[in-house]
């Protein structure tokens, strides 16, 4: 016969093991859910006019003078984790490139500078 104390000790150990397994499982589920990538950054159908207006407003805030601005080509959408758009701009001052994400934040803006191609000159 098993004594009463031994039965309670075995029962307590089983309860503690089951509780530990349940807590580890719960932790793994929470970590898995927290790492799950949401596609909040997806906006392939964003209105181009709104994005273009935001880019022009950003350029003005930065003090960049753009005269006779024209958006050239089609905007390009990149559906990665954040989702962002790339635009090419042309003005009298030069060519510019801009990127904007789905939260209407400008992630890149700058002048495109093309270096002149020099012909190879023989060394004297």
Domain ranges for the chain, please list them: 1-36, 48-112
pLDDT of residue 102: 86
Looking only at the bridges linking them, the beta strands covering 84-91 and 94-101 are antiparallel
Rounded CA-CA distance 5/106 in Å is 69
pLDDT tens-digit profile of 7-61? Answer: 999 999 999 999 999 999 999 999 888 776 555 667 888 898 999 999 999 998 9
Of the candidate CATH numbers 3.30.70.1140, 3.90.440.10, 3.10.450.40, 3.20.20.240, the domain formed by 48-112 belongs to 3.10.450.40
* Global confidence as pTM: 0.59
How far from 52 is each of 47, 59, 112, CA to CA, in Å? Answer: 9, 11, 18
Burial class (CB in 10 A: 0-12, 13-18, 19+), 100: buried
Residues 88 and 60 sit within 8 Å (Cβ to Cβ):
no
């Amino acid at each position: 016969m098993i004594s009463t104390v031994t039965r309670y000790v075995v029962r307590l150990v089983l309860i503690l093991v089951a509780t530990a397994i349940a807590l580890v499982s719960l932790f793994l589920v929470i970590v898995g859910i927290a790492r799950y990538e949401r596609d909040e950054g997806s906006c392939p159908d964003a209105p181009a006019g709104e994005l273009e207006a935001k880019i022009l407003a950003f350029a003005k805030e930065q003090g960049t003078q753009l005269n006779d601005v024209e958006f050239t080509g089609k905007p390009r959408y990149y559906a990665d984790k954040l989702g962002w758009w790339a635009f090419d701009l042309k003005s009298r001052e030069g060519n510019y490139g801009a990127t904007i994400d789905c939260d209407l934040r400008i992630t890149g803006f700058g002048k495109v500078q093309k270096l002149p191609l020099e012909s190879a000159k023989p060394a004297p």
